[in-house]
């Protein structure tokens, strides 16, 4: 992937080496991302941590703190820029910048308004967000309480070595998936989702969570579509992205970690579903074709 040709985002905070005060994972509407699937299962916690479960039993989601509304503008502070000497951090910053450009153009075309950009926080070991404290075991996640993506780049090593999905485009898929959750938040999809799960039983909640995650996969593919059109992808990149989507399928992770599959416990979708919707976005480049909530699942 020619990520060096992408515009570098100004909305990245590098908190590497910083140790937040406090402890425990709090509420605040936390949306767990790809890494939560892998690392939490490895830690023997039942698959996935969704917006309404945080290392515990199924319960309703907690609202985002009213005192900390989402912030989408540039981040300022001692860690406002990534370290250019770290190629992984630089790649993340440039992929984020490219998603900003793509989604801003789409928002202008579809809604005649600009795209409110998310922040992205790079951290090590643990981090504090508007959704509370989280350890790196949670993996990459998006917090709607402050409109930021949180990422410990050490997760990419797990994605490559343990789950056989190496490559920079597989890593870019992780970033663009979490950005997809931000798009859902901006468009009001997460708010609708939260209302639906308040009335749903445990099984239906899991199904709704799967649909939310698959839509973020499709949105990640939409970004990939335009990266490909602008010749920012190289031979093998699409295959890397599809392997990344498949590697974090519920069924594949359950097979690796517990030796058997429990479809009723799916919270992010099977490998087939994740590849299908990621490919849908890649092929169409149209967010309107990402309606996972009404379209029949493969």
Q: Is residue 296 part of a domain?
A: no
Pairing type for strands 148-151 and 12-14 reads: unpaired
Task: Please list the residues that pair with 149 across neighbouring strands.
Answer: 120, 142
- State how far the Cα of 101 lies from the Cα of 197, in Å rounded to an integer: 32
How confident is the model over 12-34, as pLDDT tens digits?
999 987 766 554 433 345 554 55
Q: Is residue 122 part of a domain?
A: yes
- The residue range of the domain holding 113 is 3-289
Q: How many CB atoms lie within 10 A of CB 296?
A: 5
Displacement of CA 260 from its chain's centroid (Å): 25
Mean pLDDT to the nearest integer, 257-266: 65
Q: Is residue 295 part of a domain?
A: no
- Range with the lowest mean pLDDT among 74-88, 121-135, 192-206? 74-88
Q: Is residue 16 part of a domain?
A: yes
Q: Is residue 297 part of a domain?
A: no
Q: Per mean pLDDT, which of 53-57, 85-89, 203-207, 290-294 is the most reliable?
A: 290-294
Q: Is residue 294 part of a domain?
A: no
Percent of the chain with pLDDT over 70: 71
Structure pTM?
A: 0.77
Residue linked to tokens 């709607």? 144
Mean pLDDT to the nearest integer, 70-85: 36
Reading the block at residue 209, the tokens are 């969570």
* pLDDT computed for residue 148 by the predictor: 97
Domain count, the chain: 1
Mean pLDDT to the nearest integer, 240-244: 77
Q: Is residue 298 part of a domain?
A: no
Label residue 61 by pLDDT band (50, 70, 90).
Answer: very low
Q: Is residue 256 part of a domain?
A: yes
* pLDDT computed for residue 100 by the predictor: 98
- State how far the Cα of 254 lies from the Cα of 77, in Å rounded to an integer: 40
Residue linked to tokens 């793509």? 102
Helical H runs in 9-49? 34-42
* pLDDT computed for residue 242 by the predictor: 77
Coil, helix or strand at residue 49 = coil
Residue 69 sits at the vertex; the CA angle it makes with 66 and 74, to the nearest 5 degrees, is: 160
Residue 158 sits at the vertex; the CA angle it makes with 144 and 290, to the nearest 5 degrees, is: 45
């Amino acid at each position: 992937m020619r990520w060096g040709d992408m515009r570098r985002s100004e909305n990245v905070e590098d908190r590497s080496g910083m140790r937040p005060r406090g402890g425990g994972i709090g509420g605040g509407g936390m949306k767990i991302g790809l890494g939560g699937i892998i690392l939490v299962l490895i830690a023997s916690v039942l698959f996935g941590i969704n917006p309404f479960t945080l290392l515990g039993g199924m319960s309703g989601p907690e609202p985002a703190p009213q005192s900390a509304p989402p912030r989408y503008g540039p981040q300022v502070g001692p860690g406002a820029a990534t370290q250019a000497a770290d190629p992984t951090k630089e790649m993340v910053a440039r992929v984020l910048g490219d998603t900003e450009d793509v989604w801003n153009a789409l928002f202008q075309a579809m809604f005649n308004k600009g795209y409110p950009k998310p922040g992205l926080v790079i951290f090590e070991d643990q981090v504090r967000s508007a959704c509370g404290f989280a350890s790196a075991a949670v993996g990459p996640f998006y917090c709607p309480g402050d409109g930021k993506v949180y990422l410990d780049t050490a997760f990419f090593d797990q994605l490559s070595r343990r789950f056989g999905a190496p490559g920079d485009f597989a890593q870019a898929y992780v970033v663009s998936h979490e950005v997809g959750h931000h798009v859902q938040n901006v468009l009001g999809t997460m708010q609708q989702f939260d209302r639906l799960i308040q009335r749903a039983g445990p099984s239906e909640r899991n199904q709704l969570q799967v649909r939310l995650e698959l839509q973020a996969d499709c949105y990640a593919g939409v970004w990939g579509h335009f990266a490909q059109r602008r010749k920012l992808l190289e031979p093998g990149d699409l295959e890397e992205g599809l392997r990344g989507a498949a590697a974090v399928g519920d069924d594949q992770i359950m097979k690796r970690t517990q030796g058997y599959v429990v479809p009723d416990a799916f919270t992010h979708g099977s490998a087939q579903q994740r590849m299908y919707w990621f490919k849908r976005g890649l092929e169409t480049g149209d967010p309107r074709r990402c309606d996972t909530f009404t379209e029949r699942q493969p």
